[in-house]
Structure 1
Amino acid sequence: MGLRERKKALKRQEIVTVAMNLFDQKGFDKVTVAEIAKQAGIAPKTLFTYFKSKDDIMFHNETILLSDIRHLIQQQTSIANLWPAFHQFTEELPTNEATQGSLQAMRQLMANVIRNPELGSRRLQMWATYETQIQAALIEQRLTDSLTAQVLAHQMILVLQIMFAEEVPDDFWQARVTRIFNATSQVASLTNEVDMTL
């Protein structure tokens, strides 16, 4: 990374730090872009070269967990292995050194969303991006066809949405993940037993 890129990355992080402090102090809806820019020592117009909106500042690290999931997919050689691998991946998020940072970032983001209901639609947009990117990764890895990739990506995101819908302490994380995956299997079994001719 060149000097210019490093300076830009540092300024971006400064904007995030300033904004997050202001959000904590005053509440997300009470903070203006102009206020963030002023404290970061830049013009509002300059701030928009780093972030398109105030929402984007709050969601600045929204894809950090997505990167880990894409890496998991790239390691798979068979679609049959993916669901168990994803189960293990999700279960080990708090204990795996490689994913602890991602988990903490996502927990902080979701806690902020819970405190600021106006960010709900932005959260849905984030999960939609996750689903699209996971589907693309499955197809790129040639693990399955487009339709199966779409269904599987949706199931994976559903697990994450449930896990991050509330704050789950590390002590209860593994048990919660196990319950969700068991419930998913039970629903699939119940669906298979339904007489579709009725």
Structure 2
Amino acid sequence: MSEQLGLRERKKRETRQRISDIAMGLFMTRGFDNVTVAEVARVADVSVNTVFNYFKTKEDLFLDRQEWYEDEPSRIVRERRPGESVIAALRRDFLDAIEQRHWRSGLQEGMEVFIRTINESPALTARMRELAERREARFAETLADETDADDDDIRPALVAAQISAVTRTLAAIGMRRKMAGETFEQIASDVRAQAELAFDLLEKGIGDYGVR
């Protein structure tokens, strides 16, 4: 019985992944708004009902890893090293992302096609804003748990907002330059320097910034 259940679950995962991969290929090639769920189902050789059994909405087909995305900053904080601060952990992770050319640094190959597809679709743009808000809210909850903050302590929400703004801004800088046609080698050192500056501001505070 356990073997049958295991086989059934594996087939479900494989079907879900196949549908997701096919949908993403169609979206990237033709644009999100130009592809219907019925087309995805036809190419994947499944029914439309099967698609919706795995994905509640068309946007979920495109954003198949949204749960991972929402939890990413929280995970980094939960897994930070002994004696390591929240800022130090996020700084280390972002610098690692630059070296690995990971999508969270904005420097992954092909990421510009993904971003262009989002920018061309009002529905996806709206969903990404929603995801960013949920990600920041979850991050604030994690910070509150990790620091045993009181319910009326504003610091977890403030820290989450500031860190989220920094990582979002840094990734956008790298992505804009990639979309302009620059190579990783042309961009990486500048983004790394800007990341160090940004996290220095977070770490040391911005109280004396802009003094006249």
User: Shared fold (TM-score greater than 0.5)?
Assistant: yes
Q: Is the 8 A contact 1:19 1:57 kept in 2?
A: yes
Cα distance in 2 for residues equivalent to 1:143 and 1:79: 17
Aligned partner letter, 2:60: D
User: Which residue does 2:145 correspond to in 1?
Assistant: 140
Q: 1:123 aligns with which of 120, 124, 128?
A: 128
User: Which residue does 2:194 correspond to in 1?
Assistant: 179
RMSD: 3.4
Aligned partner letter, 1:189: G
Cα pair distance change 1:106/1:128, threshold 3 Å: farther
What TM-score, normalized by structure 2, do the two folds share? 0.73
Cα distance in 1 for residues equivalent to 2:193 and 2:68: 23
2:46 matched to 1:28?
no
Q: 2:57 aligns with which of 53, 56, 65?
A: 53
Cα distance in 2 for residues equivalent to 1:154 and 1:106: 28
Unpaired runs of 5+ in structure 2? none
Q: 1:161 aligns with which of 168, 175, 194?
A: 168
Q: 2:22 aligns with which of 13, 18, 22?
A: 18
Cα pair distance change 1:105/1:180, threshold 3 Å: same
2:195 matched to 1:188?
no
Cα distance in 1 for residues equivalent to 2:97 and 2:129: 22
Unpaired runs of 5+ in structure 1? none
Shift in Å at residue 161 of structure 1?
2.0
What TM-score, normalized by structure 1, do the two folds share? 0.78
Q: Is the 8 A contact 1:78 1:143 kept in 2?
A: no
